Structure 1
Amino acid sequence: MTDSPGPYEAYPSGPGDVSQPSKPPVPTTINVAFYCYVVSTVIGIVSALLLLGTKDQIADQLRRANTSGLTEDQIQSAAQVALIVAVVIALLFALVYLWLAFKLRAGRNWARITLTVLTVLQVVSLAAGRGGTIVGYLSLLLAVVGLVFAYLGTSNQYINTVKQSRS
């Protein structure tokens, strides 16, 4: 009797058996980048949820810019819709950001490039004066730190090794 589990014999491996090289362990630099992106995303989600408390400010801005004679009910409805749309977009962006962080951790170079583009866009947005809060700067700082760690030497080696093992 053989050592194979179950009632069947183990599948024989012959000279044509080519085993896949195992995926290398995730280096610390990639893990640091991953956690920076995750924490940055969590901060972004919290920031988006804090937007829900700004309905009155949005309504005030709509009142000041009201040149078409909207009623108070219409202004309140528009403020509510604006908040819901902003929160939904922020949450969708956060989900994409998290997905990209997990793909980076899996060694996908395209995810690293996409995270680079998104981080650069975040820098440009804050430099242009859009969303310049302390929370926004903290989220950006973490994303930039994550970006730096994603391009360090061991991160490059890991991504290249994963790429070679997939081809």
Structure 2
Amino acid sequence: MTESPNYPQSPASASPGQAPAPPRPGTIEAAFWAFIAAPVIGLIGGLLIFADRDKIAATLRDTNRQRGGNLTDAQIDQTVNVTMITAVVIAVIIAALYLLFAFKLRAGRNWARIVLTVLAALQLISLLTGQSTIGGYLAVLAAVVGVVLSFTGPSNAYIAAVKAQR
């Protein structure tokens, strides 16, 4: 007796009576990849800060001395280490959420598009109000491109079609 191979089910055959998912437009795909690029660029930029660790510690030491602070070199080193590790952990959490929302956008969820727009706006405000690097500018640029693409006509039609299907 021969068994037939176990092929994965297509979405249409997996749910009898349900219409197949509308085709995903290129604008949603491009927005998805822009939203993937934004946190990846941000994480790379965040990791590059470790190369400047000694410079950051030296600046903090100078500031401590100029202000008559009483922090020891060991305390300053510990503060720099804890701050950098905390920043990386926060960046990884934000990147993971960004990726989750990007996948939900790709699946046609309007709420994810709204959340990604808010995150991109917050990222842009952060860039404009603080110091940033070229990586920060590139990450914001990728996020803004993702927002623009996610609100084009084909993207709007796709999200509406997915919503109507549910």
Q: TM-score scaled by structure 1?
A: 0.83
Residue 132 of structure 1 deviates from its aligned partner by 2.3
Residue 74 of structure 1 deviates from its aligned partner by 1.1
Who is 1:117 aligned against? 118
Question: Are the aligned partners of 1:51 and 1:87 in contact in 2 as well (CA < 8 Å)?
Answer: no
What's the % identity of the aligned pairs? 49
Partner Cα distance (1:30, 1:62) in 2? 45
Residue 68 of structure 1 deviates from its aligned partner by 4.4
Who is 1:22 aligned against? 20
Residue 32 of structure 1 deviates from its aligned partner by 0.5
Amino acid aligned to 2:50: L
Query: Cα deviation per residue 1:108-131 (whole Å; 9 max; x = unaligned)?
Result: 000000000011111111111x24
Residue 88 of structure 1 deviates from its aligned partner by 0.9
Structure with higher Rg: it is 1
Question: Are the aligned partners of 1:48 and 1:91 in contact in 2 as well (CA < 8 Å)?
Answer: no
Q: 2:42 aligns with which of 27, 41, 44?
A: 44
Q: Kindly indicate whether residue 72 of structure 2 is the aligned counterpart of residue 74 of structure 1.
A: no
Partner Cα distance (2:149, 2:90) in 1? 27
Partner Cα distance (1:111, 1:42) in 2? 18
Q: TM-score scaled by structure 2?
A: 0.84
Who is 1:151 aligned against? 151
Structure with the larger helix share: 2
Amino acid aligned to 2:84: L
Who is 2:59 aligned against? 61
- Structure 1, unpaired ranges of 5+: 7-17
Instruction: Count residues with an aligned counterpart.
Output: 150
Q: 1:114 to 1:46 in 2, by over 3 A?
A: same
Greater CA deviation, 151-160 or 49-58?
49-58
Who is 1:15 aligned against? none
Runs of 4+ in structure 1 deviating by more than 2 angstroms, as ranges, are 64-68
Amino acid aligned to 1:164: A
Amino acid aligned to 1:120: A
- Structure 2, unpaired ranges of 5+: 5-15
